[in-house]
Structure 1
Amino acid sequence: MNTTWRFRLRRVVKNRWLLLMTLPGMLFLLIFSYLPMFGILIAFKDFRYADGIWGSKWVGFKNFEFLFATRDVWSVTFNTLMLNSLFIVCGLIVSVALALLMFEVKNRILNTIFQSSYFLPYLLSWVLVGYFVYAMLTTDGFVNQILAYFGIESVSWFTSPGYWPAILVLVSVWKSAGYTSIIYLASILGINTEYYEAAKLDGATKLQQVFYITLPLIIPVITIMMLLQIGRIFYADFGLFYNVTRDSGMLYATTDVIDTYVFRMLRKVGDFGMASAAGFYQAVVGFILVFVSNLIVRKVDKDNALF
């Protein structure tokens, strides 16, 4: 055994308990992320239940040809990219803002109340949120009552697709920003307080401290979070787009995304090969986007790159 392998073995023995702690996570990743990758074969086969994955006929790229031959695939791709981009940008701004506000709350009880309030929507199911939004936007709902109070004509929200990009962004940010803000708050709390004390001595205002100390020091965390979200930009939150819009056909022009489109085609046609092809398409494009985004970050600042 050469010196390199002896050194590695000593490190494994030294860190055996830490490695053992990672075992459940590694098993979870193996079972639910890597083993299912063999299902990619379905994208290249005419899948039949009776024949199984291995026995089904190999059709090559025919499933992809069918997927891209439909007129709707480009519109749902555009909707997926556009809406997820809005979610990422708006979610980042609101999450960081909430983290900065919570950081300024020094009262421990109030801080706990605020954090719990922000985090609560994240724990609600999309089914419940969907009913909540429906109650707000129905014909005689709360929003139309407010419009009527100000003399504005009521809106048939579930037949008006033009409003829904903004509605979906508001709902998505309301539900997830509180959870993400805790991550940013944790990174802010890790900043050495001496920076703020020195800034105060120099006469820096709170706003100047935010722009010249807090934000620059949490950029690595923001970058990592952005890269991870960009990697899933082709994956829409199915619960959001299906339950909140109530799968209304009148809204497909602006709310139909790849995930809901595939689900609808799978439910109506039952073509598992096409559904798998769409999933493979999402995974490949997502990987390319992460790789390119990380490459750009490495060119700008190598230390903030994900890999």
Structure 2
Amino acid sequence: MEQAAPTVVPTKPKKVKALNQGYWSKYGIFYLMMAPALIVILLNNYIPMVGSIIAFKKITYESSSFIENFVNGKWVGWKNFEFLFKTSDAWRITRNTVLYNVVFIILNLVIGVGAALLFNMMRSKRLAKLHQSIMFLPFFLSWVIVSYLVYAFLNPSLGIMNMTVLKWFGAEDVMWYSDSTWWPLILPILNVWKGIGWYAVLYLAAIIGIDKEYYEAATIDGASRWRQIWSVTIPLIRPVIITLTVLQIGKIFYADFGMFFNVTRNAGALYETTLIIDTYVYQGFLVTGNIGLSSAAGFYQAIIGFLLVFGSNLIIRRISKDDALF
């Protein structure tokens, strides 16, 4: 009786090894290129997250070493959070941070898209580039420099507003750094002036990437310029609009510390309308020395920001799955 010849089956590890060798030889250079950025993100963003433990501890300064304080600090559970939310500051800093950022998001979207549309419609490309450069220039200025420019306008005794503008209109002088009434208007204006060039350039890049055949077809159908904007331009740049808006929503609990601290000169009289979570954490950490309370405020800020990103993306995913970030 003849015996069947044994079949030879290639071993799986050799295939996997060959596959891995081919994968790394093909894509290894890209991982090498990403390595510096990944290391920076790891050191700057992820390792410091271990410090969130401080929000649940009581730092007593009994030891001269911060590491010993961090390791041996007494666990207090949620007491830092309870103390935070029992004060009136919790509501005030949350209200100011959220409302300012909502206004910033709306203005950046409306004015940014509007400016990009105007740049795109300019016939002279040289003038368009000149206007883009002029609008983009404030983005590179430090808030320290901007704060001195603002102080030149708002100085109660020598500022341009009190000495020239208000006198020209016959109005009384305003103590700008003692009266918090005007700052909900001043800060959004400064935010738009400094950052709108960045958003305008991003939206303009998306508009320039639209195929001209869409506009030609719309023109043949008799669509006006405004109709083309609403029916062609806006729908086609919608993914960029959604991406930038979601990224801003994720930072709705974060405010620009440089603007709120330097431009307002950290004036205590303005805290009712200018105190935000970021400056509150600074005050708690460096001024009052309450590390646990400031860490609790920072932890609260991070968790809410994460939930807002996740929630806004979930809503977008249900409306239009293709436009969701993840």
What range is the shorter-chain TM-score in? over 0.9
Partner of 1:133: 150
**Structure 2 CA distance for partners of 1:143 and 1:45, relative to 1, 3 Å:** same
> 1:143 aligned to 2:153?
no
> 1:33 aligned to 2:51?
no
Matches within 5 A, 1:145-160: 145-160=164-179
Q: Any conservation in 1 of the 2:280–2:294 contact (CA below 8 Å)? A: no
Partner of 2:8: none
SS across alignment from 2:266 = coil
**Structure 2 CA distance for partners of 1:175 and 1:9, relative to 1, 3 Å:** farther
Partner of 2:325: 306
> d(CA) in 1 for partners of 2:201 and 2:23?
34
Residue 141 of structure 1 deviates from its aligned partner by 2.3
What amino acid is the match of 1:146?
V
| Equivalent position to 2:94, from 77, 81, 89 | 77
| Equivalent position to 1:241, from 253, 260, 266 | 260
Q: Deviations over 1:73-105 (max 9, x none)?
A: 111111111111111111111111111112122
Partner of 1:57: 74
Q: Deviations over 1:135-188 (max 9, x none)?
A: 112234223322221223332222221211111100011111111211111111
Q: Unaligned stretches of 5+ in structure 2?
A: 1-11
SS across alignment from 1:157 = coil
> d(CA) in 1 for partners of 2:267 and 2:83?
25
> d(CA) in 2 for partners of 1:12 and 1:113?
46
Partner of 1:43: 55
Partner of 2:205: 186
**Structure 2 CA distance for partners of 1:288 and 1:5, relative to 1, 3 Å:** farther
Instruction: Give me the TM-score of the superposition, normalised by structure 1.
Output: 0.93
**Structure 2 CA distance for partners of 1:222 and 1:8, relative to 1, 3 Å:** farther
> d(CA) in 2 for partners of 1:9 and 1:167?
59
Instruction: Give me the TM-score of the superposition, normalised by structure 2.
Output: 0.88
> d(CA) in 2 for partners of 1:59 and 1:115?
53
> 1:14 aligned to 2:14?
no
> 1:273 aligned to 2:297?
no
| Equivalent position to 2:83, from 45, 66, 71 | 66
SS across alignment from 1:235 = coil
Moved over 6 A (4+): 2-6
Q: Any conservation in 1 of the 2:84–2:90 contact (CA below 8 Å)? A: yes
Partner of 1:225: 244
What amino acid is the match of 2:229?
V
> d(CA) in 2 for partners of 1:111 and 1:25?
34
What amino acid is the match of 2:291?
F
**Structure 2 CA distance for partners of 1:9 and 1:209, relative to 1, 3 Å:** farther
Q: Deviations over 1:4-44 (max 9, x none)?
A: 88767644432222332222221111111111111111111
What amino acid is the match of 1:132?
L
Please say which structure displays the higher CA radius of gyration: 2
Partner of 2:113: 96
Matches within 5 A, 1:203-218: 203-218=222-237
> d(CA) in 2 for partners of 1:190 and 1:34?
36
> d(CA) in 1 for partners of 2:212 and 2:24?
36
> d(CA) in 2 for partners of 1:149 and 1:66?
49
Q: Any conservation in 1 of the 2:139–2:195 contact (CA below 8 Å)? A: yes
Partner of 2:36: 24
Q: Any conservation in 1 of the 2:284–2:291 contact (CA below 8 Å)? A: no
Q: Unaligned stretches of 5+ in structure 1?
A: none
CA RMSD of aligned residues (A): 1.9
> d(CA) in 2 for partners of 1:5 and 1:300?
43
**Structure 2 CA distance for partners of 1:107 and 1:20, relative to 1, 3 Å:** farther
Partner of 2:316: 297
What amino acid is the match of 1:99?
A
Matches within 5 A, 1:163-174: 163-174=182-193
> d(CA) in 1 for partners of 2:323 and 2:170?
52
> d(CA) in 2 for partners of 1:80 and 1:160?
19
